[in-house]
Chain A
Amino acid sequence: MANFNGYLIISAILFSIGTIGVLTRKNSIVIFMCIELMLNAVNLTFITFSRYLGNLDGQIFVFFIMTVAAAEAAVGLALIIAFYNNKDTIDVDEVQLMKW
């Protein structure tokens, strides 16, 4: 079952790309997307292993990740809208109130 590693490699690559995206981009929506990307990379790993190990727990767990991702997207975007209403920008570096 050598090609299982392939899926794992791909998910690792996607995950690291997502990380780089989160760290570099200033636009909060793009950060949001990168987080989604990271989540999906993890989903892929889950499904690969569930298929490989033969029990479906992994896949069911992916279900839960999806619900969480959905919930997160909803709340996150509401935040971004609220943020936009106050600051007229969604640039992450503007929000600096939470400091000493």
Chain B
Amino acid sequence: METLFFLIISLVAIVSAILVITCKNPINSALALIMTFFCLATYYVMLDAPFMAAVQVMVYAGAIMVLMVFTIMLLNIRVNATRQQSHKVLFSIILGFFTLINTLVIIFKSRAALPTGPYSGDMIKNIGHTELIGKEMFTNFLLPFEITSILLLAAIVGAVILAKKKI
């Protein structure tokens, strides 16, 4: 039963991903992307990572896509009908196809690694996923956490300066 559900979700994800790259109007592709993000969120839940799903929805679907849609609206971009030259499209599809083939080959060729980590599936369920992540985040990964804050600061300052009309 679960696999059937999984198949439906993946079908939806793939169709919306394709929609993202094919539809002419950027708004439609934005919406399709949001749809993909939701599918991903469900995956995360299926992988016993509910907190991640929540964060995914909030950050990606909520913040980033909203920003994107806002920019599209701000710049009221006319739908340009011109498509890339055909030969470029053909090459890129071939290239995309080859990346797919490569990754699939890696997936199937690689031997299954041993589960080494301390947190088994049911542990997450009974202790609570968020608590575990919090503990992990603020003990081993404290330094990267601080660095990401600096990264965000830099991004904010950069975005403000770049987007201002007269510097």
A52–B121 alpha-carbon span in the complex (Å): 8
Question: Across the interface, which residues of B come within 8 angstroms of A5, CB to CB?
Answer: 107-108
Question: Across the interface, which residues of A come within 8 angstroms of B17, CB to CB?
Answer: 13-14, 17-18, 37
When the two chains form the complex, which single residue of A15, A51, A70 contacts B47, counting CB atoms closer than 8 Å?
A: A51
Question: How distant is B121 from chain A, measured CB to nearest CB, in Å?
Answer: 7
Question: Across the interface, which residues of B come within 8 angstroms of A84, CB to CB?
Answer: 75
Dominant secondary structure at the B interface: helix
Which residue of chain B has its CB nearest to the CB of A77?
B71
User: Given A60-B141, A64-B148, A84-B75, does the pair A55, B64 have CB atoms closer than 8 Å?
Assistant: no
B119 with A56: CB separation less than 8 A:
yes
Question: Across the interface, which residues of A come within 8 angstroms of B72, CB to CB?
Answer: 29
Dominant secondary structure at the A interface: helix
B88 with A54: CB separation less than 8 A:
no
B26 with A30: CB separation less than 8 A:
yes
A77–B160 alpha-carbon span in the complex (Å): 10
8 pairs of A and B residues whose beta carbons are closest in the complex: A55-B117, A23-B92, A71-B155, A21-B21, A54-B117, A20-B96, A78-B162, A12-B103
B163 with A82: CB separation less than 8 A:
yes
Tell me how many residues of B have a C-beta within 8 Å of chain A: 83
A95 close to B (CB within 8 Å): no
Which residue of chain A has its CB nearest to the CB of B136?
A56
A48–B160 alpha-carbon span in the complex (Å): 36
B163 with A16: CB separation less than 8 A:
no
Interface size of A as a range: 35 or more
A14–B137 alpha-carbon span in the complex (Å): 28
Most buried by B among A9, A15, A54: A54
Question: How distant is B74 from chain A, measured CB to nearest CB, in Å?
Answer: 7
A69 with B84: CB separation less than 8 A:
no
B13 with A14: CB separation less than 8 A:
yes
A20–B99 alpha-carbon span in the complex (Å): 10
B133 with A59: CB separation less than 8 A:
yes
A66 with B84: CB separation less than 8 A:
no
Question: Across the interface, which residues of A come within 8 angstroms of B37, CB to CB?
Answer: 40
Question: Across the interface, which residues of B come within 8 angstroms of A63, CB to CB?
Answer: 55, 133, 137, 148
A68–B59 alpha-carbon span in the complex (Å): 11
A17–B77 alpha-carbon span in the complex (Å): 24
**Could you tell me which residues of chain A, from 55 to 95, have a CB within 8 Å of some CB in chain B?**
55-57, 59-60, 62-64, 66-75, 77-82, 84-85, 89-91
